[in-house]
A and B are shown apart, each in its own frame.
Chain A
Amino acid sequence: MPTYEELRAAAAAVWSAVEKPQRPLFVVSMNTSSIAAGAQATFDALRKLADSGSGFDVMQTGDAGLAWAEPVVEVRRPGGQHVLYGHVTAGKAEAFAQAAASGIAKEHAIGVIAGEATDGATRVSVPMLADIDWAKPQVRWLMYNCGVIDPDNIDHYIARGGYSHYMAASRMDRDALINVVKGSTLRGHSGSFFSTGMKWSFLKDAKAEPKYLVCNADEGDPGAWVNRVVMESDPHMLLEGMLIGAYATGATHGWIYIRDEYPLAIERVNHALQACRDRGIFGDNALGTGVHFDAEVIRGAGAYVCGDETGLISSVNDERGMPRIKPPFPAQSGVLGKPTNVNNVETYASVTTLLRVTPDTFSTVGTEMNRGTKMFTVSGACEKSGCIEVPFGTTVADVLTLSGGIANGRAFKALQQGGPLSGLLPASIAADLLLEPEPFRPLGAGMGGGGLIFVDETSCVINLNAMFTWFLEDESCGRCTTCRGGNQRMLEILERVSRGEAHPDDPERIKSLAASMQYSNCFHGTLSPVIINNTMTHFRAEYDAHALEHRCPAQVCDGLIRYRITKQSPAVAEAAAICPTRAIVQNGGSWAIDDAACIRCNACREAAPNDIVVEDKFRDIVPLRVIERADVARAGG
């Protein structure tokens, strides 16, 4: 097998050809988001042009994080000008290629990555990429290679320093290495924020053999896809982190547990693993360092609780993915009953990053408690969705600004961060929060693993709660009555509130259910009531509008709205033809809505926006009398 130096020398030649190409090189982002936007067709169209002698070459890259601009293409021209372009759909590919190969294709330009913003001799008003709002607050450490290299080409990774950090680590004393990780403040980026160095020392000190590493890539929080970006763009950064972990802890085998929804990540990580084996990085005597480590991918099959490390271990152990009671901790008894360490994708990649940027530099970014950077995905009501990387301690308001603010001039109502177990905070509090775990805790919330979902005024918090509680009820493994039954009862309450049929003492029941759910075994149960607790604290007026006035102010909850035709018009006839339940009926020559048949899908209003309205104040407001406990019991409540 070649030495590291030989690998590096061979890789440098491969990389140089795509970093400083002899003729224009079109680097197309190929990732799950871009493919949804048609990037495969763009890639094929550019490839066809290249193959027919258009004088340029085409290469794939992963994900630079700009979901809002996909399909994204970077053009690297001889002379060092690199320009990033967006919205390059297949239909526009030919005109774009012509313009971008010889100059700057202005209507697609996002920013200049390197070189001058000139089109031949003429200056063009395209900003430097680093100066645009989206990029300004970002520090691209974990995303160093994202959108830069071909994720399927290990030479690109190695040429940019890849696996040299493992080489350096392997020359260190194992305790000293673990102390570097401990001293960096690095904690699990999945949302648990437990010290990574501590976890590694537990595994190193475990007596039994063999020892195992598991990578949790079961990123199940809806609205979070940071791990997907790493795996689709730079799988080796994760693998190098695992290899460093294997050396530090003495682990000999690893499992990378990737969720079923990420087929492209599964493909790229498998490809990267094979490339490592082929070059003697994984397997026996890694790069001549005497370490033996190999890993394999397990494809998940749709179970949110497998995001809990003991649930994930159960799943690897051929069981249903049910979390179990600790102790024993995974470092004592994990996969196949052997000592095991579980970290997520971003955490392993953070170890590689820590050594790459050096611990000294690492400590200059972030906050006192949390050095370094964190990746987030932004989505929801903001103008731009995508994946970003910012220093710990960046404010939510700054992230909203880089995301283009709330779209359509609407008001920022709430932040839903870190998945359904982390909370829902009103804009007034959320905007000033620093993005690190500590500020969220006194608010009865968490920061979570990286999802940031911005909510605007058109969303109803009761509806959001019902949605998340439905998810948590559906995904409960069912072991603990407090979680299984607690979420069932919570969902029943929220559904009746959203129908305007709340009991007056439902707020008390919510409180009592939330308290009893604290006796669940795992975080799925204990954190399930976080969002509803946040809601009762910060959105009580909206709860009361539903419960006491039978009104949904955002006009979302089905039971509290109805549709009405305000004007007879040809558009209404069209709406009648569109209605999936034929609820728009002719009544003595004029159209009317049969309320019993109407499913409140809004299709008719989209067809006849000027002639059909939604109403939310139509039910008589009956002041609720205080129901005695005995009445509630009789009514089966």
Chain B
Amino acid sequence: MLDNEATLEIQHLIRDFKPADGDLLGALHAVQHHYGYVPKIAMKVVARQLRLSEAKVYGAATFYSEFRLTPPPATLIGWCSGPTCRMKGGGNVRKVLEAELGVGMGENTGDNKLGLHMAQCNGTCEYAAQVWVDGKVVGPLSALDTVKLVRDLKAKA
């Protein structure tokens, strides 16, 4: 897509957001909801719409951990970093995820099919230790379950 085409599309996405109205997070969410991430060009468009400097928009987009600046993988595995998950073997789950996928937290596999994301506790601790596969809670998981889950996801990817 050409830059000016993308600009027009983003302008349309965020047309209802106003300056000095508490709208920056809303605008960035709207962009991420559409593209799966916040592309570089969006910083400029959001800044213009909300009458902020691009640096401020970029600063916010990188301050909050849920905004991505790169395209998401086809399947995103969120690893819950919460305390109940950790007490129930979540640390082992993480080690298995990273070793089996060959990537670190926050990274995607080379083919962009699978990726890891650091997730924060959402209070579904009954199913600890857990991961969220594309937002869906999967748990409780042991290390052994995790090996099988990842191999299964890799085979399907």
Shortest distance from the beta carbon of A416 to any chain B beta carbon, whole Å: 6
Among the 9-residue stretches A244-252, A356-364, A601-609, the one with 4 or more Cβ atoms under 8 Å from chain B is A601-609
B83 close to A602 (CB less than 8 A): no
Shortest distance from the beta carbon of B76 to any chain A beta carbon, whole Å: 14
The answer, yes or no, to whether A348 is at the interface (CB within 8 Å) is no
Question: Known contacts A255-B22, A380-B87, A601-B92: does B63 contact A33 (CB below 8 Å)?
Answer: no
Among the 9-residue stretches A280-288, A300-308, A324-332, the one with 4 or more Cβ atoms under 8 Å from chain B is A300-308
Within the assembled complex, what's the spacing in Å between the Cα atoms of A290 and B29?
35
B120 close to A220 (CB less than 8 A): yes
Interface residues of B in 108-127 (CB under 8 A from A): 119-127
Interface residues of B in 36-66 (CB under 8 A from A): 50, 52, 56, 59-60, 63-66
B99 close to A601 (CB less than 8 A): yes
Among the 9-residue stretches A53-61, A110-118, A125-133, A310-318, the one with 4 or more Cβ atoms under 8 Å from chain B is A310-318
The answer, yes or no, to whether B20 is at the interface (CB within 8 Å) is yes
> Which A residues touch B50, using CB under 8 A?
318
Interface residues on B, range: 35 or more
The answer, yes or no, to whether B84 is at the interface (CB within 8 Å) is yes
Shortest distance from the beta carbon of A260 to any chain B beta carbon, whole Å: 5
Shortest distance from the beta carbon of B53 to any chain A beta carbon, whole Å: 11
> Which A residues touch B86, using CB under 8 A?
463-464, 467
The answer, yes or no, to whether B71 is at the interface (CB within 8 Å) is no
**Proximity bits, A22-39, B CB within 8 Å = 1, else 0:** 000000000011011100
**Proximity bits, A367-404, B CB within 8 Å = 1, else 0:** 00000000001011100011000000000000000000
Within the assembled complex, what's the spacing in Å between the Cα atoms of A380 and B147?
23
Shortest distance from the beta carbon of B117 to any chain A beta carbon, whole Å: 10
The answer, yes or no, to whether A188 is at the interface (CB within 8 Å) is no
> Which B residues touch A262, using CB under 8 A?
122
Interface residues of A in 178-221 (CB under 8 A from B): 220
> Which B residues touch A161, using CB under 8 A?
none
Closest-by-CB residue of A relative to B66 is A302
Contact of A599 among B23, B66, B99 (CB under 8 A): B99
Within the assembled complex, what's the spacing in Å between the Cα atoms of A36 and B126?
9
The answer, yes or no, to whether A459 is at the interface (CB within 8 Å) is yes
Within the assembled complex, what's the spacing in Å between the Cα atoms of A556 and B92?
10
Give the interface centre of B67, B81, B120, B142 by most chain A CB atoms within 10 Å. Answer: B120
Closest-by-CB residue of B relative to A337 is B20
B147 close to A603 (CB less than 8 A): yes
Shortest distance from the beta carbon of A118 to any chain B beta carbon, whole Å: 31
The answer, yes or no, to whether B13 is at the interface (CB within 8 Å) is no
Within the assembled complex, what's the spacing in Å between the Cα atoms of A222 and B122?
8
The answer, yes or no, to whether B89 is at the interface (CB within 8 Å) is yes
Among the 9-residue stretches A139-147, A223-231, A428-436, A439-447, the one with 4 or more Cβ atoms under 8 Å from chain B is A223-231
A36 close to B124 (CB less than 8 A): yes
Shortest distance from the beta carbon of A450 to any chain B beta carbon, whole Å: 11
B124 close to A33 (CB less than 8 A): yes
The answer, yes or no, to whether A523 is at the interface (CB within 8 Å) is no
Give the interface centre of A303, A304, A602, A603 by most chain B CB atoms within 10 Å. Answer: A603
Question: Known contacts A302-B120, A319-B60: does B95 contact A600 (CB below 8 Å)?
Answer: yes
Give the interface centre of B81, B86, B99, B121 by most chain A CB atoms within 10 Å. Answer: B121
B interface: dominant SS: helix
Interface residues on A, range: 35 or more
The answer, yes or no, to whether A261 is at the interface (CB within 8 Å) is yes
Contact of B123 among A228, A336, A455 (CB under 8 A): A228
Within the assembled complex, what's the spacing in Å between the Cα atoms of A535 and B26?
41
Within the assembled complex, what's the spacing in Å between the Cα atoms of A301 and B65?
7
> Which A residues touch B143, using CB under 8 A?
601-603, 606
The answer, yes or no, to whether B25 is at the interface (CB within 8 Å) is yes
Within the assembled complex, what's the spacing in Å between the Cα atoms of A315 and B137?
28
Within the assembled complex, what's the spacing in Å between the Cα atoms of A228 and B121?
12
Shortest distance from the beta carbon of B47 to any chain A beta carbon, whole Å: 10
Closest-by-CB residue of B relative to A420 is B83
A580 close to B25 (CB less than 8 A): no
Closest-by-CB residue of A relative to B101 is A580
**Proximity bits, B117-148, A CB within 8 Å = 1, else 0:** 00111111111101000000101001110110
B89 close to A300 (CB less than 8 A): no
Interface residues of B in 58-102 (CB under 8 A from A): 59-60, 63-67, 81-84, 86-87, 89, 91-92, 95-96, 99-100
> Which B residues touch A319, using CB under 8 A?
24, 56, 60
Shortest distance from the beta carbon of A426 to any chain B beta carbon, whole Å: 16
> Which A residues touch B14, using CB under 8 A?
none
A36 close to B137 (CB less than 8 A): yes
Within the assembled complex, what's the spacing in Å between the Cα atoms of A111 and B67?
44
Contact of B125 among A261, A379, A455, A599 (CB under 8 A): A379
Closest-by-CB residue of A relative to B136 is A36
Within the assembled complex, what's the spacing in Å between the Cα atoms of A453 and B128?
13
Question: Known contacts A223-B83, A301-B66, A580-B147: does B92 contact A70 (CB below 8 Å)?
Answer: no
> Which A residues touch B24, using CB under 8 A?
318-319
Contact of A455 among B25, B64, B87 (CB under 8 A): B87
Contact of A607 among B81, B121, B144 (CB under 8 A): B144
Within the assembled complex, what's the spacing in Å between the Cα atoms of A578 and B28?
42
Residue numbers of A with Cβ under 8 A of B are 32-33, 35-37, 67-68, 70, 220, 222-225, 228, 255, 260-262, 296, 298-304, 315-322, 335-336, 377, 379-381, 385-386, 416, 453, 455-456, 458-459, 463-464, 467-468, 471, 477, 556, 578, 580-581, 599-603, 606-607
- Listed by A's residue number, 7 A-B pairs whose Cβ atoms lie within 8 Å are A36-B127, A223-B121, A302-B67, A315-B25, A321-B64, A599-B95, A602-B143
Residue numbers of B with Cβ under 8 A of A are 20, 22-26, 28-29, 50, 52, 56, 59-60, 63-67, 81-84, 86-87, 89, 91-92, 95-96, 99-100, 119-128, 130, 137, 139, 142-144, 146-147
In the complex, besides A36-B127, A301-B67, 4 extra interface pairs with C-beta distance below 8 angstroms are A228-B123, A261-B122, A468-B83, A580-B96
What are the 3 tightest A-B residue pairs by CB atom distance, in nearest-first order?
A225-B123, A301-B64, A36-B137
